[in-house]
Structure 1
Amino acid sequence: MHALTDTADFWLQLKKEAREIADKEPLLASFVHACILTHHNFESSLSFILSNKMADDVMPALSVREILDEAYLLEPEIVESAIEDIRAIYTRDPAVTNYLTVLVHFKGFQAVQVHRMAHYLWQQGRHQLALFLQSRNSETFAVDIHPAAKIGKGVMFDHATGIVVGETAVIEDNVSILQNVTLGGTGNESGDRHPKIRQGVMLGSGAKILGNIEVGEGSKVGAGSVVLNDVPAHVTVVGVPAKVVGRPCCPRPCESMNQNVLEDNQPYEQA
């Protein structure tokens, strides 16, 4: 019951923001009405926005929207995760002043939601349709996530361009990933071959995490680093190849989004 109430309150806030924008900027009035104000709940709005992004000349928006609506009905946690993603981005990004901006403008958020749909289809055995959505996601947002990859909630893809996530990768709850990050393999091996990113982690811009390795809870990977081995929990790694240089200044780097690894100067003592 709490989740239902929470979702309803979130939707009321979104509609309030939409009305304020329509009043302040008349040129956007039709846009916010189509995306928000004509809908009866958040999932209807979300499916409308994503289906219009994913449609192409041979796959109409209506067909894509039917798939999204089905998934949201049968798997309501997908919608709950989307709300947690919006709240996470609102909290972590100082450029964001309302929820509506994330929903209608942030391609990192939208790319993750399209992936949730593709992952749902993959789990249903509808692999070709899932791969179609992966392809459209890549073409539209420049974010390439294999449909089998597992992504938690409260996840932020900041700027998002160039993010690649491999088939057996896992991204747990409350993780922040910046542009041009790769969660990839180390060759053409099969099986479980991609990274596992634990809760609270922040991956800096351009970081490459390669192989079936783990980035431990609450750790930070500095921009441009190449990670080839397991990263312990609550450390900062940087370099090519990445090495431990200290500890993050907070227990959940995903929230502080502090990119300056030189400030993480607390010594790391291996157990």
Structure 2
Amino acid sequence: MSIPKVKQGYLSPQELWQEIEREAAQELENEPLLSTYIFSTVTYHKTFADVLMFHLASKLGGPTLADRNWMKIFADPFKDDAQIVESACIDLQVIAERDPACTGYMTSLLYFKGYQALQCYRVANWYWKNGRKFLALFIQSRMSEVFSVDIHPAAQIGTGIFVDHAHGIVIGETAVVEDNVSMLHGVTLGGTGNERGDRHPKVRHGVLIGAGAKVLGNIEINEGATIAASSVVLEDVPAHVTVAGIPARITGHPRTDNPARDMDHRLKEEGFDPCSICDVAPKT
């Protein structure tokens, strides 16, 4: 069973920008009191990348580093690596697919801090990979202050990522999050505290991680698995199962083959035999 790749069927950055322009024009009519904000943040700009850079710079700017300098920080990665803008474009669209609170692309772009923090991480990761680690860590520190989201710039994060609410997200240095993953607020992808080197979780395609879940250590969360809210996961999780509890144990199969896309935390209703998943039943 394979989770579909996320790049199929999504709008290009130019097509997405046209949709955002239409939404902005409608909101200018609906909310004239916000006309200055909408104009300066959205309609004044020419491309999706321009809007994203400007808005993130306005979020991170402060007395120690002005907005215009943040614009310079964002400009080089956006110009050098087209994948950053493409990933940002797809990340925005998966919010509309997965979040019933989403009322439009512009709303998510301007107001959803999980999305904003994720795009700041992508810029920090570019600087980290290009040897400018002090600047990368500066971006991480500032985004943690502003968004309450702490993602190490060396972490490896794919495309089509949905971070709902986002408050309290922690993703460690050697963590891997592949494409098409969804997680809710309070999730930690951390170490156990007694390991060095490669010490953080590897989250594969299509995984759904519930609010407050803690995934600790260099373990594999395999494709299409679901981690129930508030669980503490200390061992590998097989593909297409649900785990829950402290410590987490296999409790069944997700109701859907793609829980990250469908945002469905429920179990299938039929009976479940843990031995059908792995050679050894969950520990008791």
Verify the 8 A CA contact 1:180 1:205 in the aligned structure 2: yes
| Superposed counterparts of 1:1-271, under 5 Å | 6-261=12-267, 266-268=272-274, 269-271=276-278
Greater alpha carbon shift after TM alignment, 26-35 vs 77-86: 26-35
Does the CA contact (< 8 Å) of 1:236 and 1:244 recur in 2?
A: yes
Give the C-alpha shift of residue 226 in structure 1: 0.4
What TM-score do you get using the length of structure 1 for normalisation?
0.96
User: Following the alignment from structure 1 to structure 2, what is the Cα–Cα distance between the partners of residues 264 and 20?
Assistant: 47
Amino acid at match of 2:20: L
SS at match of 1:233: coil
**Is contact 1:207-1:223 (8 Å) kept?**
yes
C-alpha spacing 1:192/1:85, structure 2 compared with 1 (3 Å): same
How far the C-alpha of 1:56 sits from its partner, in A, is 1.7
1:13-46 alpha-carbon deviations (Å, 9 max, x no partner): 1100011011111111111111110011000000
In 2, are the aligned partners of 1:247 and 1:265 still within 8 Å (CA)? no
| Shift in alpha-carbon separation, 1:265–1:143, aligned structure 2, 3 A | farther
Residue 254 of structure 2 contacts residue 268 of structure 2 at CA under 8 Å; is this kept in 1? no
One-letter identity of the residue aligned with 2:225? S
CA distance in 1, matches of 2:212, 2:158: 21
CA distance in 1, matches of 2:98, 2:16: 18
- Report the alpha carbon displacement of residue 270 of structure 1 after superposing the two structures with TM: 2.3
Aligned residue identity for 1:208: K
Using structure 2 for the length normalisation, give the TM-score: 0.91
Question: Mind listing any 5+ residue stretches in structure 2 that lack a counterpart?
Answer: 1-7, 279-284
Contact 1:157 1:179 in 2 (8 A): yes
Is this contact kept in 2: 1:247–1:267, CA < 8 A?
Answer: no
Q: Report Cα offsets for 1:73-92 as digits up to 9, x if no partner.
A: 10011000001101111100
Q: Please say if residues 205 and 224 of structure 2, whose CA atoms lie closer than 8 Å, have aligned partners that are also in contact.
A: yes
SS in structure 2 at match of 1:157: strand
- Residues 21 and 198 of structure 1, relative CA distance in 2, 3 Å threshold: same
Q: What is the total number of aligned residue pairs between the two structures?
A: 270
Q: Percent identity?
A: 47
Deviation at 1:9, TM superposition (A): 1.1
CA drift at 1:260: 3.7
In the TM superposition, residue 55 of structure 1 has moved relative to its aligned partner by 1.2
* C-alpha distance 23-168 of structure 1, shift in aligned 2 (>3 A): same
Distance of 1:263 and 1:10 partners within structure 2: 39
Distance 1:270 1:223 in 2: 21
Q: CA RMSD in A?
A: 1.8
Name the stretch that deviates more: 236-245 or 254-263.
254-263
Which SS does the other structure have where 1:209 is aligned? Answer: strand
Cα distance between partner residues in 1 of 2:229 and 2:44: 42
Greater RCO between the two (CA within 8 Å, min separation 6)? 2
Q: Runs of 4+ in structure 1 displaced over 2 angstroms?
A: 259-268
